[in-house]
Amino acid sequence: MTNKYTRIIGTGSVLPDFVLTNDMLEKMVDTSDEWIVSRTGIKERRIELEREVSELGVIAAQRALECSGERAEDMDFVILSTVTPEFYTPSTANVIQGKLNIPNAFSFDVSAACSGFIYALDIADLYIKSGKAKKGLIVSCDMVSRITDYEDRTMSVLMGDAAGAVVVTGDTERGIQTSYIRAASNDNRYTELYANSGITKALFDKQSGEYLGRSAPNRDAMMHMNGRAIYEFIVKILPVIFEKCLGAIGKTSSDIDHMLIHQANKRIIDYLIEKYGLNTDRVPMNIERYGNTSSSTTPLLLDELNRNGKLKEGDLVALIAFGAGLTYGASILRW
């Protein structure tokens, strides 16, 4: 029988030990705890000082596998969402697959910034519903601190590092009900959240062909953001994609038991709470403790809810995210 749904059966996450507080940032850039909290809701964030993306990804994946009761060797795929891969090739997902000793899976990275988990979940859903895969791992891990300019007060206060993972499998009764992913890359007003690859250019003399060395990397390799333009776009587009998903399954916002919104800025989350008249108990937040951990925020929140026993069988869970590109997406699943 073809599976009608793709169901999350295990969650896991990991956070770095080092805590970067607002008080510490005050000594680095022209900012203050009051300024940061009033504009973002963030008080501290975690920074990874030693381990690599694959190392955190493996830990999160192992915890998700343990939670699910599944074995690593039975996974058909490993999909990693990240904007900070260890290599341009091979994919970091491939590295994670090797470290987990999964012999017969396919693996690849997804680069959709903070929307990466939603994108990866949608891709996994297609593989499972088509029958090409039975179960697999989705891992989100971003070392955003490594592309953050700590002399830029607008970006340095926002970002943190983390990893989250889920195990997914086919199911005939519960799982992903609908999803919707898009990007606004055709509008330059909204693409000013970016970081270049940091790859240096080879320099040659045009006349003699003599190799002159390589260009030096600069701060363009760090993230930059047009915060106001992004905020204005996001508060317009999030209700649109949320309502598209609700309409696709004949539900309203009052039917949603848990609404997990990307942890980028508390003001955006508060806007959606007010717009839909949501009970704040239904909209979990951890931005105060971890900041914006890019695509990791969604599985990190999901894992916190799951391990705290707050997700009940049959609950409707909405996942909403947006990120550089600008990418955005939403998914509604039956737990």
Q: Any idea what the CATH number is for the domain that residue 246 is in?
A: 3.40.47.10
Task: Return the amino acid letter for 71.
Answer: R
| Full-model pTM | 0.91
pLDDT of residue 30: 87
Mean local confidence (pLDDT), 94-102: 96
Same domain, 160 and 11: yes
CB-CB neighbours of 7 under 10 Å = 22
Same domain, 299 and 268: yes
Residue-wise pLDDT tens digits, 23-69: 988 888 888 999 899 888 999 999 999 899 999 999 999 999 999 99
202 located within any domain: no
Same domain, 13 and 156: yes
Work out whether the CA dihedral 243, 182, 301, 31 comes out positive or negative. Answer: negative
pLDDT of residue 39: 86
pLDDT band at residue 184 under the 50/70/90 scheme? confident
Same domain, 140 and 185: no
Lookup result for tokens 């017969």:
104
φ and ψ at 256, to 5 degrees? -80, 125
Task: Return the amino acid letter for 87.
Answer: F
Same domain, 298 and 242: yes
What's the total number of domains in the chain? 2
Same domain, 182 and 169: no
213 located within any domain: no
Residue-wise pLDDT tens digits, 300-309: 999 999 999 9
75 located within any domain: yes
More confident residue, 226 or 75: 75
Token reading at 110: 């997804």
For residues 13 and 163, is the Cβ–Cβ distance under 8 A? Answer: yes
| 275-280 CB contacts, 8 Å cutoff, 24+ apart | 275/239, 277/253, 278/253
For residue 223, give the nearest of 194, 261, 203 by alpha carbon: 194
Instruction: Report the chain's mean pLDDT, rounded to a whole number.
Output: 90
Same domain, 168 and 247: no
Mean local confidence (pLDDT), 85-113: 94
pLDDT of residue 195: 60
For residues 55 and 92, is the Cβ–Cβ distance under 8 A? Answer: no
For residues 64 and 12, is the Cβ–Cβ distance under 8 A? Answer: yes
Mean local confidence (pLDDT), 137-159: 88
For residue 282, give the nearest of 303, 300, 247, 256 by alpha carbon: 256
206 located within any domain: no
pLDDT band at residue 14 under the 50/70/90 scheme? very high
pLDDT of residue 216: 62
Same domain, 130 and 258: no
**3-state class (DSSP) for residue 250:** coil
208 located within any domain: no
pLDDT of residue 234: 87
Residues annotated catalytic, as ranges? 114, 262, 292
Same domain, 52 and 160: yes
Q: Is the pLDDT of residue 227 over 80?
A: no
142 located within any domain: yes
User: Where are the extended beta strands (E) located within 117-247?
Assistant: 135-142, 162-171, 175-183, 193-194, 202-204, 211-214, 224-225
pLDDT of residue 194: 58
pLDDT band at residue 193 under the 50/70/90 scheme? low
For residues 332 and 179, is the Cβ–Cβ distance under 8 A? Answer: yes
Same domain, 126 and 258: no
Same domain, 38 and 134: yes
For residue 160, give the nearest of 16, 14, 24, 290 by alpha carbon: 290
Mean local confidence (pLDDT), 87-105: 94
Q: Which domain holds residue 251?
A: 178-190+223-334
DSSP 148: -
Task: Return the amino acid letter for 36.
Answer: I
**3-state class (DSSP) for residue 190:** helix
CB-CB neighbours of 238 under 10 Å = 22
Mean local confidence (pLDDT), 246-262: 95
